[in-house]
Structure formats: structure tokens, C-alpha cells
Structure 1
């Protein structure tokens, strides 16, 4: 089953939901496609299981990290602290987790940008941890208009999804100075950059 999910994850990340068939997945695994029909009623069920497998891991890790952060800082919550906890905990999975996690990142960026059904998938898997982050940001910015905090998260999410997509565009624009694969570089910059943006739009 793990081989099937890994193969499907790679193909969905490269070609999207509509660009992959169960036969394509079976061929990559090296089995007859009837085996996949035994486990999955259709391609969408396979896609949902592929997405849910790692969504559970990253959501639970970030939720636990956010809870531990709030407990450890004794009420002195900062914008940078909340963002570092949320972003770095996730980026560490893509840095340390191998190609499978990077494939999942690409897949997530596709799902997040598919209005027809992707938004509902993101809602069902990630709303609790996102709202936990927003709760901490509101504690760090008690005078902020809630609308500004939500817009700030919207911008964070967009930057994270573009990063996970690994399009290679920044490689070309920078003439090789920056690499789409360099999640360590992103980790060293994103939280600080986003914190400055939150401060600018939220602090009166």
C-alpha cells in the first residue's frame, strides 16, 4: 500500500488529479491495474488517501508545536515566535523528509489553488491548525483588526504554497542565486519577512 501511495503521490504531484490514471499508478508500481481496483473504488479515492496520509502528520506536528510554544513563552507571544513555530515545523518536514515530502508539497500547492474541490480539502485537513496560528497571532497583536490578521495569514499561505510548488521560477529570475529546492534558505527568511508584514498592516 505504501508503494502505491508513494507512486500515486509522485504522479499526482507532477501531473495533477486529471493527468493521472489508475493504470499509470499501477505501471509505476509494477503491478496489474486490477490490484488498484481492489483497494480503491476510483482514482479520486486514491487521490484523497494520498493527500490525507501526510496532511495528518503535518497538521498534528504543527498543532503540537504551537501548543508547546504558547506554554513555553509564558504568555509573551510574539508574531515572529508564532510564525517560526508554524512555518519552520512544516518546512523541516520538507527539508528532512526526503523526496516523498517534497512531492507532497507540490501536490498541496495544486490542491490549495483548485477552487472547484481543493479548498474543501484544505478546509477539512488544515482549518484547526490554521485557526490555532491565527489565535496566537491575535494574542501577539491584541489591538489589530481581525481582518488584517486573516489577510496576513492569506499572504503567508500564498508564499508557502508557491515555495512548496518548486516551480524553478526563482532559479531563473535570480540567475541561479536562489534555488527552488533550497528550503533551508526559505526557513531562514520567511517568518521574519512575514512578521514585518503583519506588523506593518496590523499595528496602529
Structure 2
């Protein structure tokens, strides 16, 4: 049974983007005026729905244990975004500027964190017992990266690397709370503190 739900969790990579495309394409036929700022809201909504089904219908039980010391994951996630941004700047020459902190980007980026971690960490956790921890880390990371392919091929690479960090945090603590905190720290810095400008940054 756990194998079925591992496959279900992996289907996120196809189901969520496809649902997004169906709404955008189908909506245009009935007068829906799609705008760029709608993208993350749609993604967050479909992510939440997918995770709710995975947890509500399937045998996915999130471990929500918490230790105050784990709050260090917030600045650690922020630092991870700093590393990614520095690498991207060296790679492309994009300029680094202060983030906009716009509500329209901040809220959906935070709303998508929990669903993503429930799917890619908790949902794929059975792999630890069936294939071992290294396989779990690899599959969890690559699937997380592929879920961001719409943002460009470089995002698949960066998000796969981020997925390794989140998966290791999950294994080290046994709680999905830690990767959630790291992911929140990452996304907050992405919106509020640092942004990238330049031709290659537009697809971030």
C-alpha cells in the first residue's frame, strides 16, 4: 500500500502543473484573464489540494514533533537562498537587488511550503524503509526539482539541491517541521530581501 502512495506523491510533478495549465487554458475560453501574479496562487492552491488528498485519503501521517532548537532552520533556509543567489549571479551575471516584498508573491510562496514538504518529504518517506535513506534523498530531491521545471531548467538544478538539504533535515530530525521552517526561511528571503534582475533572472 505504501508503494501506491509513493507513486501518488511522485505524480505531483505531473498532476499539479497539468491542473495549472488546464485552468489557464480552459479559463481563457470562458473569459478568465490570466495574469502573471496569478501563477503562484494557482500553484499554491493545487499544491494544497494535492497534499490534502494525500494526507486525508492515503496513509500519510506527518510527524509534527517540535524542538525550539529547530528554529535555527529558518536562518539556515535563508542562508541557503543566499548561496543559490550567489551561484546564480556568478553563473549568469544577474544583478542582486533588494526584494520587493509584495503581498501578491509572499503569501502564495508561503502557502505552498507545507504542501510541498508533505508531498516530497512525508509522502516519500516510505522509501526509507523500502530502498534506504540515500534513495529517499535522491528521489525526494529530484522530484522536488522537477516540480519547478516551469521556472526554467536552472530551477530544476537548484531546487534539486535544495531538496537534498530538506530531505536530510527531515531524516536527521524525523519531523517535517524542520524542512518546513527551512523552506519558509528560503522563500521569505527570496521575496523580501534578495531578488535577481537581468535577462536570465526573469524565469526564476
TM bracket (short chain): 0.3 to 0.5
Name the larger-Rg structure.
Answer: 1
